[in-house]
Structure 1
């Protein structure tokens, strides 16, 4: 993924660029260890720098040569995860037949599958980010910025397919109306997924086997598409 401006700034201020391969490997291990620990705990406050370096097989000194503190470390880990997700979307949009399909139902199902998989894969990271955001830290901004980029790739394709399914000529007014419809529906669904991260409600928790199919049906219904 191409690092976001915020990510580049965080990396520039937080990391003293390693000059040796061994140092680079240590950095990679620390970032991977932090990613795994954050995903497990879902709360940065529960994670110590000792936990990170012990899991990575490095040292406290090595950590502080690259990061100012645990917050700056989290920002770099988060930016890397967001960039990884964006790269996956770019590749999927280019290669996956479902995403390249002009069938609105097929595309809608693919969008839901992507978001459910993303929230499941990043559940701990998102939870930690939301908790930090509640403390007035701009942690969730990175996730929101990434989602804006995802929507920029997804929405025009879904609008085009939806217009075709309805036999609508996509003039400016029609396009704006359909785009609002698509964005508003996805906003509602994303709100449900965020709630699942924070509150783990039942019966549709993030781990529910029915979650993906249930959301696919709701998206189809909201967009007036036949249920698959």
Structure 2
């Protein structure tokens, strides 16, 4: 079952009034996500391409959305809601998240982020480029990742402490953000010597995170 479309979080749009209207909205959001992901740009597709892919019309688009930026904001919020629902389901079904050990939780964290970026590298690149140009649409990704870390980090922190690696939660967040930064720069096609689809990417990032957290915590400032 699809998570609820987060209509209340985006200004400038009208909620669907009936089931068929919601299905049309979902078709537009899915088409927009695909076009943004393929182009790596919020401006790399036209409304004609969008409405053709969604089997709707430009008139129907403007009945729902004030402008293209409003549409792109809802595409992003809908995708982030779906990702969080998937993570919640994974954490509820996989006992490793709660039972450990810490290195296995690290591996789960890396697997989640790598799978997410492999699926939506173009989407993340598009919104980051938009933010660099002064657009406001990167904030929801940052905020969503904060909420994801809010559920991941306590799972990992408790097992690190039980294993004698007493890292503070803000230091664990910093370590995971290094992974996210690496994946973001790969999505932006910054040369790294390893690509998003490289089979070695996930084990290398997992080893990097595990090595980081294997060292002494609370390194004193010079």
Same fold (TM over 0.5): yes
The match for 2:56 is: 58
Structure 1, unpaired ranges of 5+: 169-173
Instruction: Report how many aligned residue pairs link the two structures.
Output: 213
Q: CA deviation at 1:202?
A: 3.8
Q: Is the 8 A contact 1:30 1:52 kept in 2?
A: yes
Q: Is the 8 A contact 1:185 1:219 kept in 2?
A: yes
Pick the aligned partner of 1:128 from 119, 126, 129.
126
Q: CA deviation at 1:200?
A: 4.6
The match for 2:174 is: 184
Q: Which of the two has greater helix per residue?
A: 1
Matches within 5 A, 1:132-171: 132-166=130-164
Q: CA deviation at 1:178?
A: 2.5
Q: CA deviation at 1:128?
A: 0.8
SS at match of 1:19: coil
The match for 2:210 is: 220
The match for 2:219 is: none
Structure 2, unpaired ranges of 5+: 216-222
Q: CA deviation at 1:133?
A: 0.3
**Once the two structures are superposed, what CA deviation does each residue of 1:50-94 show, in whole Å capped at 9, x if it has no partner?**
110011111110000000111110000100000011111111111
Mapped pair 1:111 → 2:109: yes
TM-score after normalising by structure 1 = 0.87
The match for 1:23 is: 21
TM-score after normalising by structure 2 = 0.89
Q: Is the 8 A contact 1:94 1:100 kept in 2?
A: no
Pick the aligned partner of 2:199 from 202, 206, 209.
209
Structure 1: distance between partners of 2:38 and 2:111: 23
Q: CA deviation at 1:198?
A: 0.8
RMSD of the alignment, in Å? Answer: 1.8
Mapped pair 1:9 → 2:12: no
Structure 1: distance between partners of 2:181 and 2:109: 15
Q: CA deviation at 1:3?
A: 6.7
Q: Is the 8 A contact 2:65 2:71 kept in 1?
A: yes
Q: CA deviation at 1:20?
A: 3.8
**Once the two structures are superposed, what CA deviation does each residue of 1:71-125 show, in whole Å capped at 9, x if it has no partner?**
1100001000000111111111111122222211111111111111111111111
Q: CA deviation at 1:22?
A: 3.2
Mapped pair 1:194 → 2:192: no
Q: Is the 8 A contact 1:53 1:59 kept in 2?
A: yes
Structure 2: distance between partners of 1:24 and 1:88: 21
Structure 2: distance between partners of 1:35 and 1:198: 17
